[in-house]
Amino acid sequence: MSFDPVDYTSLDVPAAPFSDPARIPHFPEGSVPRHLGVIMDGNGRWAKQRGMERTQGHRAAEPVVFDTIAGAIEAGVRYLSLYTFSTENWKRSPSEVRFLMGFSRDIIHRRVTQMDDWGVRVRWAGRRPRLWKSVIDELEAAMERTRHNTRIDVIFCINYGGRAELADAATDIAREVAAGHIKGSKVTEKMIAQHLYNPDIPDCDLVLRTSGEQRTSNFLPWQAAYAELDFVPELFPDCGRDVLWRAIDDYIHRDRRFGGVDQA
Ligand code: IPE
Ligand code: IPE
Ligand code: MG
């Protein structure tokens, strides 16, 4: 099994992260998705197209993740959920899983100052069991350091699975019922929402998936139940803030009815 060590010197850290204001699209006040989720897909195919190891595609994604965060800040997105590692991704080869764990840990470590400088509040959504302790430690340190930031919440979904989140919520509710704190005869939607990993985070308005796949792969099934979906063909390492802005622009023109009827 080969472990691909991270070469810190080759990483492209955007020196001037924010765009010239003239370049930022003008989105009307209140029109931008408050909570935007991104399924960052296609790293492996990007690498394969270039005859490279899959891990090289993950490496190429790092600057794109931060360009995307910068673009979300510029657009005025308040919550950005990034699907980083799913509960299903453990099925991959041990060497790829090991790379993704180590890489996630290292990215959080080396980017925390940058995120803090940008006003990012780092959050995590996911399950503890199985996730590397060193990843949890870095997440917790980053969450503690950035907890007062209010510009944008960036939620790293690591060892995240929507079904796992709902099963964990159900387990918590069952425990509270058994303890006599709540009545088990009526479990409400509000109770379930209150037992999600981050109950304060509002519903997801827009899910953007890169790489052309048209599925949500267990990402935010509760929070994105009424989200607009946007599937774009670009592989994630070829993306960045322009793809995000295009998706926001597209979203703004959608007609969200939530089961109601448009006023004529
Ligand atoms: C997304 O890219 C990153 C993770 C799921 C961790 P993939 O690794 O899924 O790339 P493809 O879909 O195989 O091209
Ligand atoms: C979804 O991508 C998970 C992440 C982006 C972290 P996958 O590549 O794992 O999903 P499938 O296998 O195409 O559904
Ligand atoms: Mg994939």
pTM here is 0.95
DSSP 99-111: HHHHHHHHHHHHH
Of 255, 231, 259, nearest to 243 by C-alpha is 231
Q: Which residue has the tokens 């010239």?
A: 20
Which residues neighbour 222 within 8 Å (Cβ) at sequence distance 6 or greater?
Answer: 162, 165, 166, 192, 193, 196
214: three-class secondary structure by DSSP:
coil
Domain boundaries, given as residue ranges, for the chain = 32-161+204-253
Ligand 3: centre distance to CA 12 (Å): 23
Residue 50: partners with Cβ closer than 8 Å, 6 or more residues away: 56
- The whole-angstrom separation of Cα 198 and Cα 222 is 12
* Residues identified as active-site: 41, 89
Contact 127, 172 (CB under 8 A): no
By most ligand atoms within 8 Å of CB, the mutation choice from 41, 101, 236 for ligand 2 is 41
Q: Which CATH class is domain 32-161+204-253?
A: alpha beta
Report the distance separating Cα 236 and Cα 213, nearest Å.
Answer: 12
**What's the 44 CA to ligand 1 centre distance in angstroms?**
5
Write out the chain's pLDDT in tens, 264 residues.
343 444 433 455 554 588 888 999 999 999 999 999 999 999 999 999 999 999 999 999 999 999 999 999 999 999 999 999 999 999 999 999 999 999 999 999 999 999 999 999 999 999 999 999 999 999 999 999 999 999 999 999 999 999 999 999 999 999 999 999 988 888 999 999 999 999 999 999 999 999 999 999 999 999 999 999 999 999 999 999 999 999 999 999 999 999 999 876
Distances (CA, A) of 60 to 7, 40, 55, 260: 12, 12, 9, 43
Please enumerate, by residue number, every residue annotated as part of a binding site for Mg(2+): 41, 228
In terms of phi and psi (left: phi > 0; alpha: psi -120 to 50; beta: otherwise), the region of 16 is beta
The answer to whether 203 and 223 are in contact (CB under 8 A) is yes
